Amino acid sequence: MDETGSLDAKIDALETRIAFQDETIEDLNKTVTDQWDEFNKLRREISRLSGQVQQMQSSKDGSDGNEPPPHY
């Protein structure tokens, strides 16, 4: 019966470890998901800002160059 008690204790220890590992995996999955969402948000923001910069450059390049300098 001592061997059965030892096996029960080992099984309980393994079940406890598995429960903690499952919780850790869930926490890590949530962290990765949150970071991926943030990454996508930042990528959209960079794309938007890049579009604005290109628009500003094209409007600046589109001027005819015949305008007098601002000190005139």
Distance CA 58, CA 9 (A): 73
pLDDT at 66: 66
Q: Please give the structure tokens belonging to residue 24.
A: 């850790």
* Whole-model pTM over 0.85: no
Distance CA 36, CA 43 (A): 10
Q: Which residue positions in the chain have pLDDT lower than 70?
A: 1, 62-68, 72
Distance CA 42, CA 36 (A): 10
How many residues are given for the chain?
Answer: 72
pLDDT at 15: 97
Query: How crowded is the C-beta side of 48, counted as CA atoms within 13 Å?
Result: 6
pLDDT at 8: 95
